[in-house]
């Protein structure tokens, strides 16, 4: 038997420019791009500072340069826990189980837990409470529904995001969605090592399609935005077709197709237009944010869950849609989903540990 060596590559943005400078860790570590045989650990550093003022002696305004550092691990074993150490701190992660097939996807498939939350911007204290509570679930990975920061173009906000998330993301993998507050800014892609605004991944007997629903920031002008969305929808359909063998199929993105917030109804027509595709390919659930509260709807056996209570100011749920509404509440929250074989159980939890809602998925629904 030939053994594949474990390889680690340290990659540093702006590495040559920063030689000889003292570097301060300002965020992280976090685990991203996790697969059965690969993983990446990222952290943020600041190695320079500039000042600004209206006179030589009055340099009162300062700005810092923030850069990402990352280590890419390859040659890993599926379903294995690894421990690491970086200048930002120590952590660990568990690689996903080996991909299942029609023959192996049974009730004996490896169990796993993941948490979903979003809209963590603005109220750092609430954001920290969500992370502390989510840690108690010991998730295998985190799926974020977008709006990580209040302004994705503001470099100063990203270190705080990573600092708050580090107790959780240093120990579990992170899969982010673009929110409208990220503004499709290059820093989202750079700091989180995201190659494309939409992507998919497998975990055990489940498949996840992650969308960039923020089409207003996807291009200059409506023509470019429409073209981007059409290309993404075509990709999504092919992605769902290729993964019909998965027991569970989740679609995630920032903007929801349904809402109980009266002044937002009708805002996301491009998402509502996806509902027939969700039904055609028997998607298990759509997971969204954008509305700062908790909402769950059910239509044709598909669950539509909004978990946008991660720290942004809360919105009223004053006009729940008739017939499809299962639970809506104006509250901070996150969602925990446990997949065991061909059954999955979910709960919406408050930052006080209260169970807000519970639901169940069955394979193939």
Please report whether residue 39 resides in a domain.
no
How many other C-beta atoms can be found within 10 angstroms of the C-beta atom of residue 352?
A: 9
Q: CB within 8 A of 252, min separation 6: which ones?
A: 116, 143, 145, 175, 177, 208, 209, 210, 211, 286, 287, 288
DSSP bridge partners of 11:
70
Name the domain count of the chain. 1
User: pLDDT by residue (tens digit) across 264-293?
Assistant: 988 899 999 999 999 999 999 999 999 999
Provide the pLDDT confidence category of residue 98 given band limits of 50, 70 and 90. Answer: confident
Q: Among positive and negative, which fits the CA dihedral 211, 177, 142, 173?
A: positive
Q: What is the pLDDT of residue 14?
A: 41
Domain of residue 216 covers: 101-362
User: pLDDT by residue (tens digit) across 327-364?
Assistant: 999 999 999 999 999 999 999 999 999 999 999 998 87
Phi and psi for 304 in degrees, rounded to 5?
-120, 110
For residues 358 and 348, give the distance between their C-alpha atoms in angstroms, rounded to a whole number. Answer: 6
Residue 148 has pLDDT above 90, yes or no: yes
Residue 2 has pLDDT above 50, yes or no: no
Q: In sequence order, which ranges of 213-356 are alpha helices (DSSP H)?
A: 222-242, 269-272, 275-280
Average pLDDT over residues 141-164: 97
Please report whether residue 75 resides in a domain.
no
For residues 232 and 354, give the distance between their C-alpha atoms in angstroms, rounded to a whole number. Answer: 37
Please report whether residue 42 resides in a domain.
no
Please report whether residue 55 resides in a domain.
no
Max distance between CA atoms of the chain, in angstroms, equals 73
Residue 177 is part of a domain; what is its CATH number?
Answer: 3.60.21.10
Please report whether residue 31 resides in a domain.
no
Provide the pLDDT confidence category of residue 13 given band limits of 50, 70 and 90. Answer: very low
Please report whether residue 53 resides in a domain.
no
SS3 145: coil
User: pLDDT by residue (tens digit) across 180-196?
Assistant: 999 999 999 999 999 99
Average pLDDT over residues 92-106: 75
Cα dist. 262→33, 272, 304 in Å? Answer: 37, 16, 17
Please report whether residue 37 resides in a domain.
no
Provide the pLDDT confidence category of residue 47 given band limits of 50, 70 and 90. Answer: confident
DSSP string, 163-185: HHHHHHHTSSEEEE---GGGTT-
Please report whether residue 92 resides in a domain.
no
Compute the 3-state secondary structure of the chain and give helix, strand, coil in percent, each to the nearest 5: 20, 35, 45
Phi and psi for 144 in degrees, rounded to 5?
-100, 130
| Of residues 270, 195, 287, 200, the one with CA closest to residue 241 | 200
For residues 308 and 330, give the distance between their C-alpha atoms in angstroms, rounded to a whole number. Answer: 10
């Amino acid at each position: 038997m030939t053994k594949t060596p474990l390889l680690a590559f340290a990659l540093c943005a702006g590495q040559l420019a920063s030689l000889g400078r003292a570097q301060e860790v300002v965020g992280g570590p976090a685990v991203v791009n996790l697969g059965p045989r690969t993983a990446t650990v990222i952290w943020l550093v600041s190695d320079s500072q500039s000042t600004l003022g209206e006179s030589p002696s009055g340099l009162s305004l300062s700005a810092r340069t923030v850069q990402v550092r990352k280590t890419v691990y390859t040659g890993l074993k599926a379903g294995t826990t690894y421990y690491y150490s970086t200048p930002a701190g120590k952590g660990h992660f568990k690689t996903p189980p080996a991909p299942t097939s029609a023959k192996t996807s049974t009730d004996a498939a490896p169990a796993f837990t993941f948490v979903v939350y979003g809209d963590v911007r603005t109220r750092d204290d609430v954001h920290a409470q969500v992370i502390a509570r989510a840690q108690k679930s010991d998730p295998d990975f985190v799926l974020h529904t977008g709006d990580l920061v209040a302004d994705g173009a503001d470099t100063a906000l990203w270190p705080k995001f990573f600092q708050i998330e580090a107790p959780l993301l240093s120990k579990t993998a992170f899969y982010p969605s673009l929110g409208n507050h990220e503004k499709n800014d290059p820093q989202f892609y750079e700091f989180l090592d995201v190659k494309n605004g939409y992507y998919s991944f497998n975990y055990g007997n489940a498949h996840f399609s992650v969308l960039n629903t923020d089409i207003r920031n996807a291009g200059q002008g409506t023509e470019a935005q429409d073209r981007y969305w059409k290309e993404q929808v075509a990709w999504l359909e092919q992605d769902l077709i290729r993964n019909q063998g998965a027991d569970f199929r989740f679609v995630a993105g920032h903007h929801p197709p349904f809402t109980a917030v009266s002044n937002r109804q009708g805002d996301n027509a491009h998402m509502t237009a996806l509902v027939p595709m969700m039904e055609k390919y028997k998607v298990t659930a759509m997971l969204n944010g954008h509305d700062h509260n908790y909402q769950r709807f059910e239509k044709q056996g598909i669950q539509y869950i909004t978990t946008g209570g991660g720290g942004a100011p809360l919105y009223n749920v004053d006009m729940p849609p008739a017939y499809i509404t299962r639970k809506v509440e104006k509250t901070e929250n996150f969602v925990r989903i446990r997949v065991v074989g061909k059954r999955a159980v979910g709960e919406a939890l408050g930052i006080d540990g209260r169970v807000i809602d519970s639901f169940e998925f069955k394979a193939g629904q």
